[in-house]
Structure 1
Amino acid sequence: MVKISKILILILIIGGLFAFGLPKIFQGTAQEMPEKMAVEEKKLPKIIDKDKNKIFDNLEEILEGQPDEAFFNTIVLFEEKLSDTLFGKAKEKIGDFSIKYQYPSISGIATSLTKGQIIALSKIPFVKQIEDDAEVTIFLDKATYWFGVQKARSDFGVDGNLDGQVTYSTDDIVIAVLDTGIDYNHLDLNEGKVIGQKCYCCSLLNPQGKCVKPCCPNGKDEDTNALDDHGHGTHVSSIAAGEGEGNLNYKGVAPGAALVGVKVLDSGGSGYMSYVNKGIEWVIANKGTLGIEIMNMSIGAAGCSNGQDSTSLLVNDAVAAGIVSVVAAGNEGSKTCTVGSPAAAQYAITVGAMADVNPGNAASGLPRYGFYQGYFSSRGPTADGRIKPDVSAPGVFVMAAARGTGNGYTEKTGTSMSTPFTAGVAGLMLHAKPTLTPAEIKSKIATTA
Structure 2
Amino acid sequence: MLKYFAFLLVLHAALAAPGADYQSIISPKLRNRNADDRTYNVFITMEETTSQVLETITSTPYVDRATKLNSLYDALKSLANRTQGPVLSYLESRNIEHTSFWVNNQIYVKNINFTTIEDIAFRYIEYMTEINEEYVANLIAPVSVKTNVTLADELQWGVAKIQADRAWEVIGGLQKAGEGVIIATVDTGVRGSHEALKDNFVGDYGWFDPSTRDPTPTDNNGHGTHTTGTIAGQKGIGVAPAAKWAACRGCAGFFCGQSDLIACGQFFVCPTLADGTSPDCSKAPNLVSNSWGGGRGNTWFNGVIEAWHTAEIIPLFSIGNSGPSCSTANSPGDQNVIGVGSTTIDDQISYFSSVGPASDGSMKPEISAPGSEVTSAYHTADDAYASLSGTSMACPHAAGTIALLQTRQPELTYAKAKDLLQNHSDRDLTFTGRVCDGVAGTIALLQTRNKQLKYEDAKKLLQNNADRELEFSGTVCSGVGDDEFPNHVFGHGRINAFRSVQQQTLGKSR
TM-score, normalised to structure 1, is: 0.68
Are 1:240 and 2:231 matched, yes or no? yes
8 Å CA contact 2:232, 2:242 repeated in 1: yes
- 1:331 paired to 2:317: no
Q: Measure the CA separation in 2 of the matches of 1:377 and 1:131.
A: 31
Counterpart in the other structure of 1:421: 397
Match of 1:88 in 2: 86
Give the structure 2 partner of residue 295 of structure 1.
288
Paired AA for residue 113 in structure 2: T
1:389-443 deviation digits (Å, cap 9, x = unpaired): 2222111111111223322321101111111111000001111333321221123
5 Å-filtered alignment, 1:48-447, equals: 60-61=28-29, 64-67=32-35, 70-80=38-48, 81-83=79-81, 86-88=84-86, 98-112=96-110, 113-115=112-114, 124-139=125-140, 140-142=142-144, 146-148=158-160, 149-157=163-171, 172-196=180-204, 197-202=206-211, 221-244=212-235, 250-266=236-252, 268-286=253-271, 288-290=281-283, 292-300=285-293, 302-307=294-299, 309=300, 311-346=301-336, 348-357=337-346, 371-447=347-423
Write the deviation string for residues 4-57 of structure 1: whole angstroms up to 9, x where unpaired: xxxxxxxxxxxxxxxxxxxxxxxxxxxxxxxxxxxxxxxxxxxxxxxxx6566x
Amino acid in the other structure paired with 2:388: K
State the distance in 2 between where 1:143 and 1:159 align.
32
Residue 386 of structure 1 and its aligned partner are, at CA, apart by 3.1
How far is the alpha carbon of 1:78 from its aligned partner?
0.8
Alpha-carbon separation, structure 1, partners of 2:373 and 2:80: 46
* 8 A Cα contact 2:320 2:391, kept in partner: yes
- The 3 A distance-change label for structure 1 pair 184 and 84 is same
1:143/1:69 Cα in 2 relative to 1: closer, same or farther (>3 Å)? closer
Asked if structure 2 preserves the Cα contact closer than 8 Å seen for 1:395 and 1:417, the reply is: yes
Could you state the TM-score of these two structures normalised by the residue count of structure 2?
0.60
Q: Which amino acid aligns with 1:234?
A: T
Amino acid at match of 2:128: V
Q: Which moved more, 1:178-187 or 1:285-294?
A: 285-294
Query: Any stretches of 5+ residues in structure 2 without a counterpart?
Result: 1-23, 49-78, 147-156, 272-279, 426-510
- Total equivalences in the alignment: 347
Counterpart code for 1:200? D
* Distance change >3 Å, CA 330–CA 96, structure 1 → 2: farther
CA contact (8 A) 1:143 1:399 kept: no
- Where structure 1 has 5 or more consecutive residues not aligned to the other structure, the ranges are 1-52, 203-220, 245-249, 358-370
* Structure 1 residue 336 displacement after superposition: 4.8
In 2 relative to 1, CA 120–254 (structure 1 residues): closer, same or farther, beyond 3 Å? same
Partner AA of 1:185 in structure 2: S
Render the CA deviation track for 1:47-79: whole Å, top value 9, x for unaligned. Answer: xxxxxx6566xxx44653542563221222111
Aligned identity (percent) is 23
What is the letter of the counterpart of residue 394 of structure 2? S
1:305 Cα shift? 2.2
In 2, the alpha carbon distance for the partners of 1:352 and 1:265 equals 21
Kindly state the Cα deviation for residue 99 of structure 1 after the two structures are TM-superposed. Answer: 5.0
Contact 1:121-1:127 within 8 A present in 2 as well: no
How many Å separate the matches in 2 of 1:352 and 1:159?
Answer: 28
Give the SS at the match of 2:196.
coil
Structure having the higher Rg: 2
CA contact (8 A) 2:164 2:401 kept: no
Judge conservation of contact 1:352–1:393 (CA < 8 Å) in 2: yes
Q: Residues 154 and 428 (structure 1 numbering): CA distance in 2 closer, same or farther, change over 3 Å?
A: closer
- TM-aligned CA deviation for residue 194 of structure 1: 4.2
1:6-17 equivalences under 5 Å are: none
The 8 Å contact of residues 200 and 243 in structure 2, kept in 1 or not, is answered as no
Greater percentage in strand:
1
State how far apart, in whole Å, the 2-side matches of 1:390 and 1:120 are: 45
Conserved 8 A contact 1:295-1:326: yes
Structure holding more helix per residue:
2
CA distance in 2, matches of 1:157, 1:391: 23
**Which is further off, 80-89 or 384-393?**
80-89
1:332·1:376 contact (CA, 8 Å) conserved in 2?
yes
- The structure-2 alpha-carbon separation of the partners of 1:345 and 1:75, relative to structure 1 and needing over 3 Å to count, comes to farther
Identify the residue that residue 485 of structure 2 maps to in structure 1.
none
Q: Report if aligned partners of 2:210, 2:263 keep a CA contact under 8 Å in 1.
A: no
2:487 corresponds to which residue? none
**CA separation in 2, counterparts of 1:159 and 1:73?**
50
For residues 412 and 197 of structure 2, the distance between their equivalents in structure 1, rounded to whole angstroms, comes to: 27
